């Protein structure tokens, strides 16, 4: 018995126009008419079809509309991972993509901003280039981002400090906008960097980047001091990620019920053993500070729980050109090269 000869399948080879129209669900009858009667020889030719062309070969209006919509060129989608408001490192400069994205987000001309950031702006009118109100509203001295950098450039061009603050160190944004716009109009800078509002109240003017008001988490058992950045507080107790209600009970135990004494080593040891990050519950104080839990519950009921935040004022961070070896007094500038010594030098 002879073996059957295998049958080779026939593969239909389609021209690009037929393949594209079949892909879109067009009947072969219309495909042939589009190719022969309308003269479509390539896929590119299909982009020139109109509803009138398709109606002339017998295609119904609704089907013609769907086909034309499918054949219409799709708009290019710009995919970018550049965040124009991302914080920059101390020595990092914004990339051209960041500058362009930032300008685009504010409706500014990207090339003008690039020139401005590179110091090539000359005497251009910044009021037309940069929306000052938008810049000030987005400015935060704690974040080194494009808002801070552009305001720094504005300050450099105006040659005077431009950020108006209130007595508590917070930025007065309306007065800052008013002051900058006045400077751009040619008004005189505030004398001694004191700007008076319409009610004759004085406000200090400071430089861009100076954080005159810094608010941090307070140490629950020493609430006038801020915790370290890693959460460490008095007695080597780490409050990092500890829930606020736990901190508040500890605060009441120290300041009101005195069930915890920060000067008592045994109490500090107890806190170190029981304060364990985010997993800590306020009922951990049930045995040690039950009265503080009661005061906390009453404070929650009346809405008077403490925020446990503390404000610290500081000057701007500056890179030291020379390390400070010792204090220098005006008298030290006399007799340079002499052999005299001060008694205080021996203590440094």
Structural domain boundaries of the chain?
A: 16-71, 96-206, 214-312
Tens of pLDDT, residue by residue over 26-62, are 888 888 888 888 888 888 888 888 888 888 888 888 8
Instruction: Read off the pLDDT band of 172 (50, 70, 90).
Output: very high
Stretch among 142-151, 172-181, 282-291 having the lowest mean pLDDT? 142-151
Q: What is the mean pLDDT of residues 118-147?
A: 71
Stretch among 64-68, 121-125, 133-137, 230-234 having the lowest mean pLDDT? 121-125
Instruction: Read off the pLDDT band of 273 (50, 70, 90).
Output: very high
CA dist list (Å): 348 to 103, 225, 329, 334, 343: 52, 28, 14, 20, 10
Question: What 3 state SS string does the chain have?
Answer: CCCCCCCCCCCCCCCHHHHHHHHCCCCHHHHHHHHHCCCCCCHHHHCCCCHHHHHHCCCCHHHHHHHHHHHCCCCCCCCCCCCCCCCCCCCCCCCHHHHHHHHHHCCCCHHHHHHHHCCCCCCCCHHHHCCHHHHHHHCCCCCCCHHHHHHHHHHHHHCCCCEEECCCCCECHHHHHHHHHHHHCCCCCCHHHEEECCCCCEEEEECCCCCCCEEEEEECCEEEEECCCCCECHHHCECCCCCHHHHHHHHHHHHCCCCCCCCCHHHHHHHHHHCCHHHCCHHHHCCCCHHHHHHHHHHHHHCCCCCCEEEECCCCCCCCCCCCCCCCCHHHHCCCCCCCCCHHHHHC
Res 76: pLDDT: 46
Is this prediction's pTM over 0.75? no
Tens of pLDDT, residue by residue over 178-216, are 999 999 889 999 988 899 999 888 898 988 888 776 667
What whole-number percentage of the chain has pLDDT above 90? 29
Res 94: pLDDT: 67
């Amino acid at each position: 018995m002879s073996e059957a000869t295998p049958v080779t399948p026939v593969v239909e080879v389609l021209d690009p126009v037929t393949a594209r129209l079949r892909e879109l669900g067009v009947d072969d009858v219309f495909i042939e008419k589009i190719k022969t009667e309308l003269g479509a020889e390539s896929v590119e030719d299909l982009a020139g079809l109109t509803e009138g062309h398709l109606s002339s070969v017998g295609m119904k209006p609704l089907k013609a509309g769907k086909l034309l919509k499918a054949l219409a060129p799709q708009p290019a989608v710009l995919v970018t991972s550049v965040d124009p408001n991302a914080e920059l490192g101390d020595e990092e400069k914004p990339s051209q993509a960041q500058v362009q994205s930032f300008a685009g987000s504010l409706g500014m001309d990207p090339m003008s901003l690039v020139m401005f950031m590179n110091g090539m702006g000359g005497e251009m009118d910044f009021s037309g280039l940069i929306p000052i109100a938008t810049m000030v509203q987005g400015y935060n001295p704690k974040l080194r981002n494009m808002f801070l950098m552009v305001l720094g450039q504005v300050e450099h061009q105006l040659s005077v400090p431009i950020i108006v603050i209130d007595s508590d160190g917070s930025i007065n944004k309306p007065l800052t906008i008013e002051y900058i716009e006045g400077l751009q109009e040619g008004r005189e800078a505030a004398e001694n960097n004191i700007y008076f509002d319409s009610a004759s109240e004085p406000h200090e003017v400071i430089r861009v980047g100076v954080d005159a008001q810094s608010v941090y988490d307070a140490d629950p058992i020493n609430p006038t001091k801020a915790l370290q950045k890693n959460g460490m507080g008095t007695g080597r107790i780490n409050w990092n990620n500890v829930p606020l209600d736990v901190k508040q009970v500890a605060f009441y135990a120290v300041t009101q019920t005195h069930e915890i004494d920060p000067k008592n080593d045994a109490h500090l040891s107890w806190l170190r053993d029981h304060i364990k990050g985010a997993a800590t519950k306020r009922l951990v104080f049930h045995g040690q500070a039950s009265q503080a839990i009661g005061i906390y519950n009453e404070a929650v009921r009346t809405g008077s729980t403490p925020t446990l935040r503390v404000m610290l004022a500081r000057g701007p961070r500056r890179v030291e050109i020379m390390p400070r070896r010792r204090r220098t007094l005006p008298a030290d500038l006399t007799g340079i090269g002499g052999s005299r010594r001060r008694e205080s030098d021996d203590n440094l």
